Amino acid sequence: MIPGIGTLTQDTLWCFSQVKGTIEIGTTEADIISTVEFNHTGELLATGDKGGRVVIFQREQESKNQVHRRGEYNVYSTFQSHEPEFDYLKSLEIEEKINKIRWLPQQNAAYFLLSTNDKTVKLWKVSERDKRPEGYNLKDEEGRLRDPATITTLRVPVLRPMDLMVEATPRRVFANAHTYHINSISVNSDYETYMSADDLRINLWNFEITNQSFNIVDIKPANMEELTEVITAAEFHPHHCNTFVYSSSKGTIRLCDMRASALCDRHTKFFEEPEDPSNRSFFSEIISSISDVKFSHSGRYIMTRDYLTVKVWDLNMENRPIETYQVHDYLRSKLCSLYENDCIFDKFECVWNGSDSVIMTGSYNNFFRMFDRNTKRDVTLEASRENSKPRAILKPRKVCVGGKRRKDEISVDSLDFSKKILHTAWHPSENIIAVAATNNLYIFQDKVN
């Protein structure tokens, strides 16, 4: 077991570490965080926002080894990844919003990540520079031109140390391959390919080749009126380079084996839970749509998030999930109003902790939930400015369902549906989490006694 990762027993307390982003109430749309992702070592944390920017935080090197200040990150680099564009052929605006960020395995001293908006995936290099050449032949130290006649010797520039500079440079642009909106990107364990999925198709790319990609899944019917489902998320298996899964708006997951054929229209496995007829309602179909799918680090399980639950499936059992966790079942009675204010279409994501023993996903009112798979305990926590004192312990929250409201409970009716936590990330090997709440990024760590 990885040190530092226990189970979420009663003793695991989460405490505040940092909050990033402005405090002002009136937030601009562009500042809303749209994706959060740790790199493979957990030393870096990237966020993308609706304004097309990517901000990378680096773990504070000095405090890294102090147990109480392990979870401190500072801005490392900020860059504009995508710009708003206009597709003149289709008269469509292409938003700059960053839909997903995925880190590549580290290959040299620089870091590489993929970022995508609705249409275009970009490969970015983030590198450090700490030396600067000095000394010119034709200019003096102050930059004044020298008289060519006075040049009697040649000077070769010399590199001198300078303040550390972090630069982000676009290395590849993978464009023009998606007719619909890209919802997922996933890097393959072979380190040379990745896939991008939109509503109806999944494409396979080689990192080195930008002018062609292979279509591996296409569910577009010949007649668009026969369209009954769309692809909502897709991910590669963490170790088997030939295996990937994609989820659909019908609540099903398909596992495909790229060894079997070049076009993966026929799935190898099909994960579906039979519907309970007694629970059927007008909203059944909408709330069963899967908003995120994630392989466990071990590669044995997949986790899916739909509107009200998060489910864990064993790759070896297709007919039902092995675990189902209720995220906010109290909303079941409020689906009608959630439909009217469009919240029912919110796409919540879900994450595993480093040892696959705990899962985390978001809810409304800036609440997020954790489920311990071993002890079956769950907890609701809140990302809020109010208890943002350093190392303040997060108090578990409770939403009351019945008529009587106890102290410290919050009633369903007073939940703020405009404050939603869609994106979270868990450090790959430690109990440090990053939670995106609108325009703020909260970092929490577990309390160590």
Partner 1 sequence: MAGASGLGTGPGAAGGDGDDSLYPIAVLIDELRNEDVQLRLNSIKKLSTIALALGVERTRSELLPFLTDTIYDEDEVLLALAEQLGNFTGLVGGPDFAHCLLPPLENLATVEETVVRDKAVESLRQISQEHTPVALEAYFVPLVKRLASGDWFTSRTSACSLFSVCYPRASNAVKAEIRQQFRSLCSDDTPMVRRAAASKLGEFAKVLELDSVKSEIVPLFTNLASDEQDSVRLLAVEACVSIAQLLSQDDLETLVMPTLRQAVEDKSWRVRYMVADKFSELQKAMGPKITLNDLIPAFQNLLKDCEAEVRAAAAHKVKELGENLPIEDRETIIMNQILPYIKELVSDTNPHVKSALASVIMGLSTILGKENTIEHLLPLFLAQLKDECPEVRLNIISNLDCVNEVIGIRQLSQSLLPAIVELAEDAKWRVRLAIIEYMPLLAGQLGVEFFDEKLNSLCMAWLVDHVYAIREAATNNLMKLVQKFGTEWAQNTIVPKVLVMANDPNYLHRMTTLFCINALSEACGQEITTKQMLPIVLKMAGDQVANVRFNVAKSLQKIGPILDTNALQGEVKPVLQKLGQDEDMDVKYFAQEAISVLALA
CB of 427 to partner 1, least distance (A): 21
Angle at 291 between CA 44 and CA 332, to 5 degrees: 125
Asked if 30 is part of the footprint of partner 1 (rule: CB under 8 A), the reply reads no
Query: Among 55, 253, 258, 381, which residue interacts with partner 1 (rule: CB under 8 A)?
Result: 258
Residue 351 CA to residue 81 CA, distance in Å, equals 24
Q: Are strands 398-400 and 409-411 parallel, antiparallel or unpaired?
A: parallel
Choice between 258 and 310, CB closer to partner 1:
258
Minimal distance, residue 260 CB to partner 1, in Å: 7
Q: Which is nearer to partner 1, 113 or 331 (CB)?
A: 113
Binding letters toward partner 1, positions 262-291, x by CB under 8 A:
x-----------------------------
The number of beta carbons lying within 10 Å of the beta carbon of residue 296 is: 21
Q: Does residue number 192 form part of the binding site for partner 1 (CB under 8 A)?
A: yes
Whole-angstrom Cα distance, residue 29 to residue 130?
36
Tell me the window of 47-55, 239-247, 336-344, 421-429 that interacts with partner 1 (CB under 8 A). 239-247
Smallest separation, CB 208 to partner 1 (Å): 6
Among 260, 322, 336, 392, binds partner 1 (CB under 8 A): 260
Work out whether 108 is an interface residue with partner 1 (CB under 8 A): yes
Query: Which own/partner pairs from 369-376 qualify as long-range (CB within 8 Å, at least 24 positions apart)?
Result: 369/325, 369/327, 369/328, 370/8, 371/8, 371/310, 371/325, 372/7, 372/8, 372/9, 373/312, 373/323, 374/7, 375/7, 375/8, 375/9
- Burial class of residue 218 (count of CB atoms within 10 Å of its CB; 0-12, 13-18, 19+): middle
Give yes or no for residue 240 binding partner 1 (CB under 8 A): yes
User: What residues numbered 126-165 form the site for partner 1, per CB under 8 A?
Assistant: 127, 129, 131, 133, 136-139, 148-159
CA–CA dist 215, 412 (Å, integer): 45
Least distance (Å) from partner 1 to the CB of residue 201?
Answer: 19
Residue 221 beta carbon to partner 1: minimum distance, rounded to whole angstroms: 20
Per-residue binding letters, 67-106, with partner 1 (x by CB under 8 A): --------------------------------------xx
If one asks whether residue 249 binds partner 1 (CB under 8 A), the answer comes out as: no
Please say which residue, 153 or 316, places its beta carbon nearer to partner 1.
153
Q: Judged by CB under 8 A, does residue 110 bind partner 1?
A: yes
User: What's the rounded Cα separation, in Å, for the pair 35 and 44?
Assistant: 14
Nearer to partner 1, 61 or 337 (CB): 61
What's the closest the beta carbon of residue 105 comes to partner 1, in angstroms? 7
d(CA 200, CA 181): 9
Of 364-423, binders to partner 1 (CB under 8 A) are none
Least separation, in Å, of the C-beta of 134 and partner 1? Answer: 10
The answer to whether 411 touches 399, Cβ cutoff 8 Å, is yes
CA dist 264 and 431 (Å) reads: 37
Q: Which residue carries 């079941």 as its tokens? A: 332
- Binding interface with partner 1 (CB under 8 A): 105-110, 112, 125, 127, 129, 131, 133, 136-139, 148-159, 171, 189-192, 208, 239-242, 258-262
